[in-house]
């Protein structure tokens, strides 16, 4: 039996091997492992392993805002690891308050902290808060509405940063090669569900060396296609031929 390794796989293997050899520096015997034993992050049995996750409403905070909300010297306390390595849901939650005192209690804080604070909501959330949040990719918060965050030790007024997070897919470069896409390309996510199949366009590729293949959609999008009960899920290159700019 013969098998061939695609260039993308080789690149992924080499990257993983480099990481593996760094991680194994205190255990030199693992350097003798065959190259085939290494896989890009998130791969299973030599293949990308597609995962689609619903990002429920959440908040990202700066170090300074963590202290203002939870008390001087406070740090985020990791509660649950997210699928992407190094990211976690914190034990802490905040209340998000909109105009006319409408509010969402117990909104989860995700870590680690960031250089700016940001609130990510689904459309349903933003309607109940009375905030007209635009669809934006993470970090693109210019000209977005603000809100007030309330924690056990204080409040923070954000002048901007309330968004509906735009759908996107995290992947490493081996995944990107596998799908024939690159960072900031758009893909399609096809979710086949009984009586409510949906094709999501505009799934932005966010390629990063350490990322694992994972699509992030919000709760409204996940509910629209009944993701929990999906029969088939497909991620594909958006090759309709029309370059959307
Ligand atoms: Zn994401």
> What distance in angstroms lies between residue 53's CA and the mean position of ligand 1's atoms?
9
Note whether residue 51 is domain-resident.
no
Note whether residue 243 is domain-resident.
no
Question: Which residues of the chain carry a pLDDT beneath 50?
Answer: 1-5, 8, 10, 13-14, 16-34, 245
- How many whole angstroms separate alpha carbon 132 and alpha carbon 145? 7
Task: Please check whether residues 141 and 190 belong to one and the same domain.
Answer: no
What pLDDT is attached to residue 196?
97
Note whether residue 47 is domain-resident.
no
Residue ranges with CB less than 5 Å from ion ligand 1: 216
> Tens digit of pLDDT for each residue in 187-244?
999 999 999 999 999 999 999 999 999 999 999 999 999 999 999 999 999 876 555 5
Domain range holding 181? Answer: 167-237
Task: Please check whether residues 180 and 158 belong to one and the same domain.
Answer: no
User: Which CATH number does the domain housing residue 175 bear?
Assistant: 2.40.40.20
Task: Please check whether residues 128 and 198 belong to one and the same domain.
Answer: no
> What distance in angstroms lies between residue 34's CA and the mean position of ligand 1's atoms?
33
> Which of 80, 13, 72 has its CA nearest to residue 46?
13
Task: Please check whether residues 145 and 188 belong to one and the same domain.
Answer: no
Q: Is the peptide bond before 112 cis (omega within 30 degrees of 0)?
A: yes
- Give the total number of structural domains in the chain: 3
> What distance in angstroms lies between residue 141's CA and the mean position of ligand 1's atoms?
16
Task: Please check whether residues 20 and 101 belong to one and the same domain.
Answer: no
Note whether residue 128 is domain-resident.
yes
> What distance in angstroms lies between residue 65's CA and the mean position of ligand 1's atoms?
22
Task: Please check whether residues 16 and 101 belong to one and the same domain.
Answer: no
> What distance in angstroms lies between residue 184's CA and the mean position of ligand 1's atoms?
13
> Which of 137, 133, 114 has its CA nearest to residue 122?
133
């Amino acid at each position: 039996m013969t098998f061939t390794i695609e260039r993308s796989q080789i690149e992924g293997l080499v990257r993983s091997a480099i990481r593996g050899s760094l991680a194994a520096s205190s255990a030199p015997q693992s350097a003798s492992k065959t190259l085939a034993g290494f896989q890009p992050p998130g791969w299973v049995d030599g293949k990308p392993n597609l995962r689609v996750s619903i990002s429920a409403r959440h908040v990202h905070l700066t170090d300074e805002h963590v202290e203002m909300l939870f008390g001087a010297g406070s740090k985020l306390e990791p509660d649950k690891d997210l699928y992407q390595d190094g990211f976690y849901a914190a034990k802490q939650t905040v209340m998000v308050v909109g105009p006319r005192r409408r509010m969402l209690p117990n909104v989860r804080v995700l870590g680690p902290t960031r250089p700016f604070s940001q609130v990510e909501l689904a459309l349903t959330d933003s309607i109940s808060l009375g905030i007209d949040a635009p669809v934006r990719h993470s970090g693109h918060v210019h000209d977005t509405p603000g809100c007030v965050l309330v924690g056990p030790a204080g409040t923070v007024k954000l002048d901007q940063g309330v968004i509906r997070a735009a759908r996107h897919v995290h992947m490493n470069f081996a995944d990107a090669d596998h799908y024939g896409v690159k960072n900031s390309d758009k893909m399609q996510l096809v979710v086949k569900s009984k009586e409510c199949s949906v094709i999501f366009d505009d799934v932005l590729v966010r390629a990063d060396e350490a990322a694992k293949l994972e699509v992030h959609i919000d709760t409204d999008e996940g509910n629209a296609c009944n993701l929990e009960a999906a029969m088939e899920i497909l991620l594909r290159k958006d090759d309709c031929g029309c370059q959307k700019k």
